[in-house]
Amino acid sequence: MPSARELILQHSQNVRHNPKYISYTDKHWAQEYKPMQNLSVHSSIDHEGITHTTLESKSDIEHWWHTEISDIVLSAWAQYPAIVQTCHTKPLKDVDIPNNVDSTYGIYIGNQRFPVAIGKMKRNLINNRQYADKYECPQVFCWDGESLLILQFRARKAEHIRNADCPVDCWVIPANGSTCTLRYALYRLMVQGFRRCQAAAAAKPLSVGTLAEHGREFFTGQPIWSVDGQSSINHPEGYLRSVDGATGGLYWGHPMVEDIVWETGGFWE
């Protein structure tokens, strides 16, 4: 039986027929946001092969996504840690929003659930910054039946997502002709989101060496260290952040210091 890793690195072999119908929207609340102006595209395309289910409706697009991509990727997140996927879920915080994202991937830390990544299934229409803001989730995707758009808003604070000049990492992964599979793209997005959520379990304020954290970088969850007015996610005294493979806990260590400093407890045993 193939492992989760082997399946994630495979393209879907099922045939798709996409008539490329256009979806429309009348979400007036979303029109308050200005278009993204600071976008960095990281993806590339090759011609490694062609895959061809008829996608007549949005429901067809969602069904294909969960059957061919999402359910397979979630097998790698059954535990260590466990990520739960729900459909058409409102923001996990008490936020008034007239529409929901189509897919939310979340993790429980204690009794609270945090969004790892969110996604929309939409044809020929991409408008994701508004949902990233409302859900406070900078890791976002959109699947239109033909290509997967992945966005990561590099927001230092949650409210910075609203800014038109917020830097955005962008990947466009076509279902055909990409060196990166759709499954692996979703997996890596969830890894980034999980790293951010780990910060929610961190002891605050965190002190490492002679310094206490100045804050947290929102989109990564990493501590920010400040010395003489200069801020950095790199510890000025040479401490390095690591993951304990046995428990999933984060800790800081220094090659010249015997003791380590735990940033979080374990996420699994």
- Residue 11: pLDDT above 90? no
Q: How confident is the model at residue 21 (pLDDT cuts 50, 70, 90)?
A: low
Say what the pLDDT of residue 52 is. 45
What pLDDT, in 10s, does the model give residues 205-228? 899 999 999 999 999 999 999 998
Domains recognised in the chain with CATH numbers = 4-197 (3.90.1570), 202-262 (no CATH)
For 169-221, give the DSSP string: EEEEEESSS-SS-HHHHHHHHHHHHHHHHHGGGS-SS-EETTEE--EE-TTT-
Tell which residue, 63, 54, 58, has the closest CA to residue 19: 54
Q: Which two tokens stand for residue 251?
A: 């800790």
What pLDDT, in 10s, does the model give residues 236-261? 999 999 999 898 899 999 999 999 99
Reported as type and span, the H/E element at residue 85 is strand 84-87
Mark out the alpha helices in the chain (DSSP H runs).
Answer: 4-8, 58-65, 71-74, 129-134, 182-198
What pLDDT, in 10s, does the model give residues 67-119? 999 999 999 998 888 899 999 988 877 777 777 899 999 998 888 889 999 99
Residue count (the chain): 269
C-alpha dist (Å) from residue 258 to 136, 172, 203, 205, 239: 38, 45, 21, 22, 12
Q: What is the mean pLDDT of the chain?
A: 86
Say what the pLDDT of residue 35 is. 76
Say what the pLDDT of residue 111 is. 83
Measured distance CA(65)–CA(83) in Å, rounded: 17
Contact 248, 226 (CB under 8 A): no
Say what the pLDDT of residue 49 is. 43
Q: How confident is the model at residue 25 (pLDDT cuts 50, 70, 90)?
A: low
Pairing verdict, β 168-174 and 207-208 = unpaired
Q: How confident is the model at residue 151 (pLDDT cuts 50, 70, 90)?
A: very high
